[in-house]
Amino acid sequence: MLATDLMLAAALLAAAVPPVPSPAAFEAEWRDWHSKRLAGLQGPQGWLALSGLHWLREGENRIAGLPGTFTLAGGQVTLTAASGDGWTLGGAPVTSRVLASDRDGQPDRVSAGSRTAQVIDRGGRLALRVWDAERAERRSFAGIDTFPVDLRWRLVARWEPYPAPREVEVPSVVGIPTRQVAPGRARFTVDGKEYALEPTLDGDELFFVFKDRTAPRETYGAGRFLVAAPPRDGQVVLDFNRAYNPPCAFTPYATCPLPLPQNVLPIRIEAGEKRWGH
């Protein structure tokens, strides 16, 4: 995975920096993005449907509420079930299968009734993540408050690539760090002062985990996420209007990354999503 990320880092100049849109077009584009964001959260396998996170021990594992047995051996998880248990993958019945984890980005998601399960890998530890399409949180969700959309928070940052992309150890809410690739830093100016954020690679995009002084009173205490297109001509667009809450803001069953120390900003970023719920 890291080797793939290193290759992607070498291609970071492929995308163009889009021109500044008109205020009306900017707000319309944001509303479309935000609508899709909310729909994704509320989907049958969105974060609001997440109903369980079960860390697996070596050997056979029985999960309450789920049929079958999940056996961990040799770093792999095998689902064994009776034909009447109802497990399917892509519509086909499953009675015995080694389940691909999310380690390589193409996990198997097996379903039984309203529940869907997937194996996740966090620093070599394996767990079973479970969604339930009938979870009450999907029906009761009423959206997320945000700061007013403001072009002032669409910042064009100066991109500083590292001489070579470096591996960083990213902490998480479950105490298991993961190793990611950081290709450089984005330097931007707010009220005449310069600040910097260090992203990691997520496919061909830049993924920022940051925290600012709006937390924890107005925004989620552990920080927020921001995705940016690859830089070009030494620039990268940071649209903080699209800063969004991590999955752990909505469910205790997520394994969210936490901001690196250098990504804790000593300023208020009054843009993007606010804190949700309590």
Q: Where exactly are the structural domains of the chain?
A: 2-43+143-263, 47-132
Query: What is the reported pLDDT for 16?
Result: 54
| Model confidence pLDDT, tens digit, residues 99-137 | 999 997 899 999 999 999 999 999 999 999 999 999 999
Short-list 138, 130, 131, 136, CA closest to 42: 138
Q: What is the mean pLDDT of the chain?
A: 93
pLDDT at residue 15 is higher than 80: no
The arithmetic mean of pLDDT across residues 240-246, rounded, is 98
Tokens matching residue 21: 């849109």
Tokens matching residue 17: 């920096």
Query: What is the reported pLDDT for 19?
Result: 78
The arithmetic mean of pLDDT across residues 53-61, rounded, is 98
Considering the entire predicted model, what is its pTM? 0.89
Query: What is the reported pLDDT for 190?
Result: 98
Res. 10 pLDDT band, cuts 50 70 90: very low
CATH architecture, domain defined by 47-132: Sandwich (2.60)
Query: What is the reported pLDDT for 14?
Result: 44
Query: What is the reported pLDDT for 104?
Result: 79
The arithmetic mean of pLDDT across residues 195-208, rounded, is 96
